[in-house]
Every structure is written in C-alpha cells, then in structure tokens.
Structure 1
Amino acid sequence: MKNLLAVGVAITLGFAWGTAASAQSREDWTGFSVGILGGALTTDDDQDEGLLFDRNLDGVYGDTVSTTTSSNAFAPGFCGGSAKGPVAANGCEYDKEGMEAAGRVGYDYQWGSFVVGAIGEISGSTAEDSVTGFSGTPASYTFKRNLQGVAAARLRLGYAAGPALIYGTGGYARGRIDNRFFSSNGVNAFTTTSDDEQDLDGWQAGGGVEYRLTPQLSVTGEYLYTSLDVDDDFVVRIGRGGAPATNPFILPPNTTGTDVIRSGDQFKTHGFRIGMAYRF
C-alpha cells in the first residue's frame, strides 16, 4: 500500500510540475481552503530499541534481571516488532503499514509567485510501533504503541507555477497513542502503573504539490514526516503471581517485582498522502 501511494504521490507531483512548467497563466492562491487527505503511514522503527528494567523500584532504569546463577535472564535479546513465538530464534514480525485519514483548513497569501500560508489539521491513524524482549525461560514480552491520531498546526511556503503550487511545510504536532503489553509468560503477574493512553508533543515536516483543477478545486500529493516525543513512560510491573521465589523478577533483596519500560522515547512516522481541497 505504501509503495502504491508513493507512486501516486510521485505521479501527482510529476504531472503538476510538467503542467505548471508549460502553463502561461498564474493562479491566485490567496484565500481560505478546506480539504481531506488519506494515505499510508509507516513507522520509523529503531532496530536498536529494547526493554529497560528497574529491579529495586527506585525509578532508575537500566538494571539487569539476573537468574539465581547471576546470568542475564534477557540474554536472548530484543527485536523491533511483535514476537512470532516465545523463543528468540523465531524472531519478530515487523510492524504493518498503517492508514491515515485527515481533514484540514488553511489560509494562503500570495506575493508574486511566492505563497505563504498556515494549516490546521486533524488526522486519525492505525499506525503501530512494537518492540519485544526475550527471556531464557523461554518467554516473550512485547510493548506496542498504536497511534490514534494527530492534531497539527503548520506553516507552508510555496512557489506558484501556473496551476501548481510546489511547497514545503512544517510545524507543531500533538498526537495520542494507546499502549499495549503482551507476554507469553503465563506464570508471573503483570500490572500497569501508568495510563494506557498518552498525549505526545512533537513536530511535522514535509512537502508536496497542490494542483488546481478548477478555480475552486485542487488535488494534492504530499509527503509528511512526524516525530512525537514520549515524555511519560508506559510502565509494566512484573510481580510474583504463581512463580516460585527463585523467579528472576522477584529475587531478593526486592521481592515485590520489577518495573519494565521500552527504551525508545519517540514515535516517528512517514506519511504518503493524496487529497483534495476546496478553495474559497
């Protein structure tokens, strides 16, 4: 889907550029507009991401979860994605491409061939970003973030060439994610000590071409990069449950349990979008 939409965006940009290059008249881009867009989202996965542990519950992460023989319980390692099974050798399934639908309002003002404008946008999304840790038991522990949507306020600067406006855009973004946790470990107890839903601040940047079909209607091909900062970690506490006292998560001196978070502190996406707008 991402490749298909990327081709669609490229065709739109190429068609608009070619038409604009041969056009003799210049459209007036000053005024308000409303529009809708849709497309594919891919997450910018960090393959170096893993899980971080707080064994003594002092709020500082980076401890090693050790077995009774003082070996690292998570020696099998981590992977960027959802576990295919409890054994690390089975690997992970990488995050699927998501979809996005957005509505926007904007205002542009034109000086000669240059156009400056402002955009307000709200989008809904199905993008996801996962990371998994594997213990030697064997067992898997997967954290997943689902992007529900983004509200953004951006500026854009463009160059009008015939019926086409070639532009760059960037600005503030605020997104909401839903956190999930899954484990093949059926012995320990798992509780969350923070909110499943979190609001994240960040930014967006990209560019595209808007092409005038009529004085009121236009089509758009656009690429947009989004980076959202995770300020509050989603924490899962692993307690004893039905595990024996020799379980690595509850070994003395702390027998209460172990807090776990994911190490990645950003949610990043690449968006390939096409859309239409009505200009007043």
Structure 2
Amino acid sequence: MSRYFGLAAAALLSLAGTGGALAADLAVKAPRVVSGCAWCGFYVGGNAGYAWGRDSQSSVFDAPAPFLAVDTAAISASGSPRLKADGFTGGLQAGYNWQSGAVLFGAEADFNAFNLRGSNSGTFVFPSTLPGGAVGPPTAFYTATSSASSDWLFTARNRIGWASDNLLIYGTAGLAVANVKLNQSVVVLGGFTETASVSATQVGWTAGIGAEYMVTRDWSVKGEWLYVDLGKVSATGVLTPAFAGITYNTTAHLTANIARVGVNYHFGGPVVAKY
C-alpha cells in the first residue's frame, strides 16, 4: 500500500511541475494590446511661422482733356506696382488620418492669424511737363500710394504621405480662404485725389509639403511649407472733387508662401492584440 501512495505522490508532483511550466509559458505568451496605427485617428494642435508673398496690382487711369495720354499712362503704371508683403502667421489645426501599409491618407483644416502686409509710395513726374514734353517746364509731380494686407487665413486640405515608424513625409493641397484688403491713392494736379479701396473674402487654393515626427505615443512635431493663391480682387476709384469723364480701376492678385512649425496631440487609432 505504501508503494502505491509513493507512486501517486510522485505523479502529483510531476503534474504540478508540468502545470507550473505550462502556466509560466501561457503568461509569457499572453496577448499585448497595442495601437495598430501610430498615425491613425483624430489629432489637434497649433502652429506658428512666417509668411511672405507678392501683391501684383494692375491699374488703369483714364481721363479726358486737359489730361494727355502720356500722363494717364504714367499714372496707370505708377498704380500697378508689385508689392512685397510679409508677416507673422499662427493658429490652430485639426485633422484625421487613415493608413494603408506605409501610405497615409488624411484631411486637415486650420485657422490662422495671417498678418500679411505690403505697401509702396512714391512721387512721380508728369512726362508731358519734362523738357521736350508736350507741355514743357515747369515740371509737375503727382504721388501714388498702394497697400495690400490680410488678417486671417483658413485652409481645408487633403494629405497623402509615406509613414515609416515615427516619421511621416507628406504632400497636401486644398482650399484656401482669406480676407484681402486693397487701398490705393493718387494725388494729381489741382488737389484732385483718386482713391480706390476694397475689403473682400477671397477663395483660392493652396498646396505644399511637410514632415512630421512622432516624439511620443501621443505627441508629434512638424515642419510645413504652403503656397497660397488667393485670386484677384478689383476696386473702382473715386475722384475727389468729382470731374466728369475720369475713371480709375485697379485689380490685385495676392499670393504667398508660408513656412511654419507645429505640434499635434493624437487621440490614437484602432487597437489590436499582438503576441
């Protein structure tokens, strides 16, 4: 009988050892829940940078006698400068990403302060009053001042990129909306002043490239360049005091480059179990 008790005890000890080893093995191979896509899901963040651009203006001044064609052409040319504009930009963005393999698809919108400013002013000669001109000396002068600006910018863009671990490189393009302000003033002979101004919300387009790096599971930093084309805006001049037959029309085309850096907080994508 003692012999059977000994054999039973040995069998139980063997099973206990086997069971412990099996339990330890199962513990090692227990599933680990991790994110299935580091870049997927919603994100929000902020950005700041520098904008520089050009406002190409085209003006036509037309007037009857006693104005001469050579003088009206000079005024038109003076009211058609190419203004250089620049300023600070910064604001907030939000978006959503999908990923298929290494290819990322996304949509992003941002709203930014867009302090783009540019101006030009000068004093010019009436060509007809130069020596040899139709009128001749004494030489007469006029002044022309032009300015363009914008205060805010909204974009809604698609993104497509290539993701490798923590690094994302992407291209982006879409809609751009901004306010555009244009002001011109030309002071001619006899105290006559021609003014033209407009403030409009312009709809255009934007495109650019960027790179983003995942610093932690939730936070990323990025650098981005965008080109913005806000289309053309027009204004009709008003002469003070009024003079019959004089017209003044101007058109401006504002474009800009934006270089900015930003930070995003990611809410995360789907989760899966890995072994």
Q: Same fold (TM over 0.5)?
A: yes
User: Higher helix fraction: Structure 1 or Structure 2?
Assistant: 2
Q: Between Structure 1 and Structure 2, which shows a larger proportion of strand residues?
A: 2
SS at match of 1:71: helix
Contact 1:44 1:270 (8 Å CA) reproduced? no
Of 70, 84, 87, the residue aligned with 1:98 is 87
Q: Which residue of 2 aligns with 1:237?
A: 238
Q: Looking at CA atoms only, which structure, 1 or 2, has the larger radius of gyration?
A: 2
Q: Provide, for residues 161-217 of structure 1, a one-character-per-residue CA deviation record: whole Å limited to 9, x for no partner.
A: 12111000000111111222344558114455x7x3201010000011011111111
Q: How does 1:6-85 map to 2 (within 5 A)?
A: 28-46=38-56, 49-55=57-63, 67-75=66-74, 77-78=77-78, 80=81
Q: CA deviation at 1:114?
A: 0.7
* Change in 2 beyond 3 A, CA 1:191/1:45: closer
Q: Please tell me the residue identity of whatever aligns with 1:238.
A: L
Question: Is residue 213 from structure 1 mapped to residue 215 from structure 2 by the alignment?
Answer: yes
Pick the aligned partner of 2:96 from 107, 113, 131.
107
Q: Residue 155 of structure 1: CA displacement?
A: 0.1
Deviation at 1:123, TM superposition (A): 1.1
Q: Tell me, in whole angstroms, the C-alpha distance in 2 between the residues paired with 1:256 and 1:273.
A: 49
In 2: Cα distance, 1:197 partner to 1:50 partner = 17
Q: CA deviation at 1:147?
A: 1.1
Give 1:35 deviation, angstroms: 1.1
- Code of the residue aligned with 1:187 in structure 2: it is G
CA distance in 2, matches of 1:271, 1:100: 8
Is it true that 1:162 corresponds to 2:172 in the alignment?
no
Distance 1:52 1:38, change over 3 A: same
Contact 1:129 1:267 in 2 (8 A): no
Query: What aligned pairs does 1:88-237 form with structure 2 within 5 A after superposition?
Result: 95-130=84-119, 134=124, 136=126, 137-183=140-186, 185=188, 187-190=191-194, 192=196, 196-231=198-233, 233-237=234-238
Question: Counterparts of 2:231 and 2:193 in 1: how far apart (Å)?
Answer: 29
TM-score, normalised relative to structure 1: 0.68
What CA deviation, in whole Å up to 9, does each residue of 1:18-71 have, x standing for no partner?
xxxxxxxx961101011111111111354xx4422354xxxxxxxxx7754553
Kindly indicate whether the alpha-carbon contact (under 8 Å) linking 1:151 and 1:174 is maintained by their aligned counterparts in 2: yes
Residue 240 of structure 1 and its aligned partner are, at CA, apart by 3.1
Answering whether residue 274 of structure 2 is matched by residue 275 of structure 1, we say no
TM-score (norm 2): 0.69
SS in 2 for 1:75: helix
Deviation at 1:218?
0.8
Query: Contact (CA 8 Å) 1:27, 1:163: kept in 2 or not?
Result: no
The gaps in structure 2 that reach 5 residues or longer are 1-35, 127-139, 268-275
The 2-side partners of 1:70 and 1:125 are apart by 40
Distance 1:141 1:111 in 2: 57
Kept in 2, the 8 Å contact 1:102–1:122? The answer is yes
Counterpart of 2:40, as a letter, is T
Q: Supply the AA of the counterpart residue of 2:264.
A: A
The answer for unaligned runs of 5 or more in structure 1 is 1-25, 56-64, 82-93, 242-249
Cα displacement (A) at 1:72: 2.6
- Tell me the SS of whatever aligns to 2:48: strand
- 2:185–2:194 CA contact under 8 A, matched in 1: no
SS of residue in 1 equivalent to 2:70: coil
Q: 2: distance between equivalents of 1:72 and 1:120?
A: 48
